[in-house]
């Protein structure tokens, strides 16, 4: 099966500082892929490069069969409508209500009557798990968890094939993070979404990721399931997946399944 995202020979650098060099990665249709790595490995840089916010120094980026590094501006705009992005803390427009924030990508992509646009926005707000009255709130009136859900609603605005999530559970309490993990798993299954999730949250990796990609040594060092990560003989990978936080996350998931 052709991957929905295919990276080959990707190189990212800032001045003389090389973040990625010869990075290869395939993301499969319908999976939730967790991207992890130590500080400075460029997890968020990789996400921003795929969605076109960072220009790579070399390599190819194919998304849904289109190489966006060589595509025309029109082709990039068309493919960009088929993915949604949720940045840390939602990255909402502070002067707009939640409903108006969700309507931003709808306005830019298609011409719809205001009533239809409002209804679509309300549907996405509902899908994100927010109460119906949240649409009239401004970001400053929301909790951190609600802002993240509003950011997710905006990412879902155009019924995307792929959703990119940048540290979606960062800053949330354990209960809120677990609820968000269940939300992502449910949306992926019910909507057939492919999810590319940058995270450091071991609970999220256990709870909702089908596979994990580890960034190290300027490339994707290894990909695989959680069980396969436990068998990898690399110092950082071993410490990360066998440390006390990893054991606690594994025990929590085991208790929930039990």
Closest by CA position to 90, among listed 205, 8, 180, 25: 180
| pLDDT value of position 108 | 81
Separation between Cα atoms, residue 201 and residue 148, nearest integer Å? 15
CA 99 to chain centre: 21
pLDDT tens string for the chain (258 positions)?
Answer: 679 999 999 999 999 999 999 999 999 999 999 999 999 999 999 999 999 999 999 999 999 999 999 999 999 989 999 999 998 766 899 999 999 999 999 888 778 888 999 999 999 999 999 998 899 999 999 998 899 999 999 999 999 999 999 999 988 898 999 999 999 999 999 999 999 999 988 999 989 999 999 999 999 999 999 999 999 999 999 999 887 666 555 555 554 555
The pLDDT, as a whole number, for residue 251 is 54
Q: Domain coordinates of the chain in residue numbers?
A: 1-72+198-258
Torsion angles phi and psi, residue 16, rounded to 5: -90, -5
CATH topology of domain 1-72+198-258: Rossmann fold (3.40.50)
Whole-angstrom Cα distance, residue 235 to residue 239?
6
pLDDT (0 to 100) of residue 248: 57
Is the pTM higher than 0.95? no
Distance CA 140, CA 89 (A): 12
The pLDDT, as a whole number, for residue 1 is: 67
DSSP 135-195: GG--GGGS-HHHHHHHHHHHHTTT--SEEEEESTTTT--HHHHHHHHHHHHHHHHHHT-EE
């Amino acid at each position: 099966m052709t991957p929905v995202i295919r990276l080959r020979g990707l190189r990212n650098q800032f001045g003389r500082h090389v973040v990625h060099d010869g990075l290869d990665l395939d993301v499969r249709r319908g999976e939730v892929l967790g991207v992890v790595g130590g500080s400075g490995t460029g997890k968020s840089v990789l996400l921003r490069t795929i969605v076109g916010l960072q220009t790579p120094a070399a390599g190819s980026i194919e998304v849904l069969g289109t190489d966006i590094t060589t595509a025309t501006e029109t082709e990039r705009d068309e493919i960009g409508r088929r993915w949604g992005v949720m940045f840390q803390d939602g990255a909402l427009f502070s002067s707009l209500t939640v409903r108006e924030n969700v309507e931003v990508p709808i306005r830019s992509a298609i011409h719809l009557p205001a009533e239809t646009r409002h209804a679509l926005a309300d549907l996405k707000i509902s899908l994100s798990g927010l109460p119906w009255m949240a649409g009239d709130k401004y970001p400053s009136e929301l909790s951190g968890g609600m802002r993240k859900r509003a950011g997710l609603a905006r990412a879902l605005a155009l019924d995307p094939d792929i959703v990119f999530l940048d540290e979606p559970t960062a800053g949330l309490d354990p209960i809120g993070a677990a609820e968000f993990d269940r939300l992502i798993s449910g949306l992926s299954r019910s909507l057939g979404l492919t999810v590319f999730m940058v995270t450091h949250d071991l609970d999220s990796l256990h709870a909702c990721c089908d596979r994990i990609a580890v960034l190290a040594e300027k490339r994707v060092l290894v990909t695989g399931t959680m069980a396969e990560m436990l068998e990898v003989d690399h110092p950082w990978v071993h410490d990360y997946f066998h440390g006390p936080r990893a054991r606690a996350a594994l025990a929590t998931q085991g208790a929930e399944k039990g």
